[in-house]
Chains A and B, each alone.
Chain A
Amino acid sequence: MNRKIRVLMAKVGLDGHDRGALVITMALRDAGMEVIYTGLHQSPAQIARIAIQEAVDVVGISSLVDAHMTFIPQVLKEFKKLNIEMPIILGGFIQPEDIKELKDIGVNEVFGINTRLDEIVEYIKNLAARKQDSSLTY
């Protein structure tokens, strides 16, 4: 794998909490990845557009105001519209009872407020490696 892993770190909706997104951005960069941070208050359509423009391998979405059950399906729909299969990771303040449904509709993984940085780094490395491998076989 020659190319650096590219990650989009995204904030969707009105949520203003960005500490988690920024700390994870730092950790992923320290692990050698290229991370594009969207800034606050993005719409689902904007997330999909930036992800494609920036040719990222993975999209990480940070949510701390309990609005994810509304906007995650919208984000997935935007990617579907564009016919793009994009791995999506959700992190932040997520009620445990939501996790199964989120994974059922297509979120790859859900990390909570207690997840360690190295765990997230490792997960993304594996996910991106799998994605790049599978694209080679086509």
Chain B
Amino acid sequence: MDKELEKAFSAWKERYKEEFKKERKPEAEFLSEAGIPFKRVYTPLDLEEKNFNYINDLGLPGDFPYTRGRTPIEFRGEPWAQSLYSGYGSPAESNALWKEAFKTGVETIYIAYDLPTQLGLDPGQPMTHGEVGRIGVSMTTQRDWEVAFDGIDMNRVRISHVPNAVAAFQMANLICLAEKKGANLNRLQGHCHNDILKEYTVRGNYIFPPDPSMRLTIDVVSYCRKVLPQYLTLSVTGLHFSEAQSTTIHEAAFMLADLFCYLEEALKRGLDIDDIAPCVELSTQIDHYTFFEEIAKHRAIRRLYARVMKERFNAKKPESLKARIGASQGGNSLQKKQYLNNIGRTAVAAVAATLAGVERLSIRPYDEQYGIPTKEAMMTATRLKYVVTKETDLLDTVDPLGGSYFIEWLTSEFEERISREIATIEQQGGALKCVENGYIKQMLIQDAYAWQKDFESGKKIRVGNNYATTEEQEKPTRVYRTDPKVEQERIDAVQDVKRWRNNEKVKKCLDEIKRVAALPASEENNLMPYIMEAVKCYATNGEVAGVLKEVWGEYSPASIF
């Protein structure tokens, strides 16, 4: 113990005890969003309490345990990549939107699909009326992919998407199109949200029961690692937990518990951890109101990931130990009232992401609370990257907050709390079991309800909502809403494909998928080559999902409420 500092610190507390009474709230109420007590000031004594050791806990940037970053130079090389989650109703409209976005410097097409697409339903199928093209682009055949990417060089941009339950179909479509366009598959980049577990607990877009769904997840990863070596096919998300207003601790713990579940499944299949790890991306949330929590959370995730990959999964290659993190600002952190304040919120979040050292960042357009963002708001979000990365000195030093007594204490605190929560899940049998027994869902409901009560009591402040409020209704001049005509156009487009394709060949492909789906999950029975064949013949996603439902059935959740 640093006796001299301890003495000085005690004396300081005694000397200023009257001053402390002037603090704006009682000491016990200085809590972070996740309920961590924030102390008045941090000193080396706090790091002693955590048994902090520079080499073990931090290391140098690019060195184990990667707390300070995956690379030795971080943003002194390239800044984080900007992605913009977007998609308008039809493939043609989205094509025009993405081409325009490139002109302003967007580097990633981050496809937002409509709900029927995410659920493996073609336009015109039951339950799809009113939902086609509504919250994203409708893309259910290879023909749709051809239209959406017309005139776009697939090697010049990253192509990312959020298909989850339909990851196998959409990755097959992506590969099929890239081959046809003569793109270099070895250089194709992007990431695929291929994370079905959180669909059961928080996002709600599931099709099949968990076991066959886990099989499809691993089929995609295993097949694509050989065909698309640079593409991240196992993007596992925490952000949806945060979007549902979970604490940052729950977000990180649920995300990592889900990931470990996929890794175990892949190992059971006989795959090598060092082959799978390079496909992993962690998709996290960054919010302005949890500024320091976000920085500590991301540093703790990198350290925890490295330790678990090494100690539990016995990964050997350094590449396998480095967490790759793509962050998104949460839509729930933006406010509808006084919506221009959202530009300030996105800027603070972008600074947090920079200090946290993420590889990719998706910044929210300021009018998203009013609907699908307008182009103007999307372009402002894009340009915010340049304000943060070109106008400031934020990029010039690696992990600039590293060594701060506060940040290091908080990073250790996060690692401990996340590990404890993961242990709680593993004690119940892991993430898949916690889907079934409702544990994760219950935690999420508790978090969300507690937050809402704190917000309504005024403990949590949102400017324009419960602070500095104004009477007049503000509204952006334009709100994008999907043209109702899109639905019929999309129904016609699918019918059109069914007219000119070789229907006999399609049937053969679908029969093959059905046959293999009934066989046990294994490397030999990987469904991806069969789905690729079907997609090449212009089978629709609805048809592929249809035959799989015949074999596997559909998921209906146990009532937990």
Contacts and interface: CB of A to CB of B under 8 A. Distances in A.
A129 interface: no
Interface in B446-481: 448-449, 452-453, 456, 465, 473, 475, 479, 481
Interface residues of B, number: 38
Given A18-B204, A22-B448, A95-B371, A65 B134 contact: yes
Given A22-B561, A26-B449, A117-B456, A13 B204 contact: no
Interface class of chain B by DSSP: loop
Interface in A57-87: 65-67, 69-71
Contacts of A25: 561
Contacts of B199: 16
A3 interface: no
A112 B371 CA distance: 13
Contacts of B336: 112-114
A134 to B, nearest CB: 30
A113 B490 CA distance: 30
Contact of B116 (A14, A95, A117): A14
Contacts of B1: none
What size tier do the contact residues of chain A reach?
A: 20 to 34
Contacts of A49: none
Interface stretch (B71-79, B125-133, B142-150, B356-364): B125-133
A15 B479 contact: no
A23 B452 contact: yes
B451 to A, nearest CB: 9
A117 B444 CA distance: 18
Contact of A14 (B131, B337, B371, B559): B131
Contacts of A71: 130
A116 B456 CA distance: 7
A107 to B, nearest CB: 16
B127 A14 contact: yes
B285 interface: no
Given A39-B557, A95-B371, A14 B479 contact: no
A116 B337 CA distance: 14
B425 interface: no
Interface string B482-517: 100000000000000000000000000000000000
Contacts of B528: none
Interface in A15-40: 15-19, 22-23, 25-27, 37, 39-40
Nearest to B561: A37
Nearest to B130: A70
A67 B486 CA distance: 14
B371 A19 contact: no
Contacts of A27: 449, 452
B134 A67 contact: yes
Contacts of A67: 130-131, 134
Contact of A69 (B116, B130, B369, B479): B130
The listed residue with most B CB atoms (<10 A of its CB), out of A16, A27, A71, is A16
A54 B421 CA distance: 37
B108 interface: no
Interface in B347-372: 369-371
Given A18-B204, A95-B371, A114-B465, A13 B445 contact: no
Contacts of A18: 204
Contact of B559 (A39, A95, A114): A39
A13 B561 contact: no
Given A22-B561, A66-B371, A114-B337, A13 B130 contact: yes
Contacts of B448: 19, 22-23
**Which 5 pairs, one residue from A and one from B, show the smallest C-beta to C-beta distance?**
A16-B204, A70-B130, A14-B115, A67-B130, A37-B561
Interface of A: 13-19, 22-23, 25-27, 37, 39-41, 43, 65-67, 69-71, 95-96, 112-114, 116-118
14 contacts: A13-B130, A16-B115, A17-B204, A19-B245, A22-B561, A23-B448, A26-B445, A41-B127, A65-B115, A69-B130, A70-B129, A116-B456, A117-B452, A117-B456
